[in-house]
Amino acid sequence: MKFLFTVGGSQAAVFGVAPLAAAARNAGHEILVAADEPLMAAAASVGLPAVCITPERMRYGQESMTAAVRLDALLELTRVWSPDIVVGGLSHVPRVLAARLKVPYVRHIWHIAPMARRDRKAVEELRPELERLGVGELPEPDLFIDLCPPSLRPPGAPAARSMRWVPRVSQRRVEPWMYTRPEGRRRVLITAGTRNLMLDTAGSSLRTLVDELTGAGAEVLIAALPEAAERFGAELGDVRIGWIPLDVVAPTCDLAVHHGGATTAMTLVNSGVPQLIVPDNGYGKAVAEAVRDAGAALMVDKHRPRDGRSPDELITAGCREILSDPRYAERTRAIATETATLPTPAEVLRELEAVAAR
């Protein structure tokens, strides 16, 4: 069979779909990943055969602005490589493509944030493209795969086939310190994902957090883009800063401070690591609230200081609380245990094969 996987937005979309795409390839199916140019390197880094369909990164919530270009590019691709099934994510453009091709459509996302309103708006904005292509009402997905553990799903989320989260990030040479816990010290990871220079705070504020953690005896790791490492590295003291493989390092950590990315949060949950989340947008806030409400994290909203304390003070206080209260780690490990019981990508693939064979 031929499986067409479509991704857009950030590298997180590539890493999220990679385990299922790899499972399909390992089972002997042909696969292609249709991606935006900024995501091509990420696809190559995890061994996925990817084809570029647009030069710029898709932004979820702005589908009407690029839908025609993306659809035409996908239709051109499928004229020479005809899929038996289309797998999409947050965007509904692949759903339109599947309806036009009259092949099954599978939606594959982590439903950790409420999306019903945004989905309705996106589908309505695609109506001109439906009319242009002669497609009537969009059918519902033939299968909805959710990477989010059931205990973290938002209220009212649609029924879905749960799938186990399998961490996947860009791969490079791994060093022993990455997979080894420091002896006699706790380890704290700080990251702002793959698109941000650093946590949305000035270098001096980051130094305050680092000083607080190292002063308490913790080892600090900062996963950062090269430009961030060059800019901040010299002033942050005794820390490791630069490329850090989250999938390898996470099991060695006692706490992570991050921006609220779903891939970051799920990889940490998967390893039983409690989190202090400083969301940098509305989606990150929804992720933070879900993990916080499950007892596995604290959230600091930098736009809403409380108790007369600054965001920096709240972040450092939150780190102290998580490291001193074992209940955060216990709750996170409970969710990790739940995640480990969910069907693997190889098991879920059998359902995709059945859908494609109808």
Same domain, 83 and 183: no
Note whether residue 304 is domain-resident. yes
Q: What gap in Å lies between CA 242 and CA 190, rounded to an integer?
A: 11
Note whether residue 202 is domain-resident. yes
Contact 78, 4 (CB under 8 A): yes
Q: Which are the contacts of 131, defined by CB distance < 8 A and separation ≥ 6?
A: none
Note whether residue 182 is domain-resident. yes
CATH number at residue 35: 3.40.50.2000
Same domain, 200 and 299: yes
What b/e sequence results for 204-242 when a residue is b if at least 16 CB atoms lie within 10 Å of its CB, and e otherwise?
Answer: ebbbbbbebbbeeebbbbbbbbeebbeebeeebeebbbe
Same domain, 43 and 130: yes
Same domain, 259 and 300: yes
Same domain, 279 and 352: no
Same domain, 16 and 127: yes
Same domain, 334 and 348: no
Q: What is the pLDDT of residue 148?
A: 92
* One-letter amino acid for residue 345 of the chain: P
How many other C-beta atoms are found inside a 10 Å radius of the C-beta of residue 186? Answer: 16
Q: What is the pLDDT of residue 328?
A: 97
Note whether residue 170 is domain-resident. no
Note whether residue 21 is domain-resident. yes
Q: Which are the contacts of 326, defined by CB distance < 8 A and separation ≥ 6?
A: none
Give the residue ranges of the chain where pLDDT is below 50.
Answer: 197, 199-203
Note whether residue 171 is domain-resident. no
When divided into structural domains, the chain yields a total of 2
Q: What is the pLDDT of residue 197?
A: 45
The number of C-alpha atoms within 13 Å of 84 and in the hemisphere containing its C-beta is 14
Contact 294, 305 (CB under 8 A): no
Same domain, 138 and 250: no
Q: What is the pLDDT of residue 124?
A: 87
Q: What is the pLDDT of residue 350?
A: 97
Note whether residue 169 is domain-resident. no
Q: What is the pLDDT of residue 59?
A: 67
Same domain, 184 and 282: yes
Same domain, 264 and 290: yes
Same domain, 6 and 117: yes
Note whether residue 278 is domain-resident. yes
Q: Residue 11 — φ and ψ, nearest 5°?
A: -60, -25
Give 321-324's long-range contacts (Cβ < 8 A, gap of 24+): 322/255, 322/274, 322/275, 322/276, 322/298, 323/186, 323/188, 323/216, 323/218, 323/254, 323/255
Domain interval for residue 237: 176-340
Same domain, 183 and 276: yes
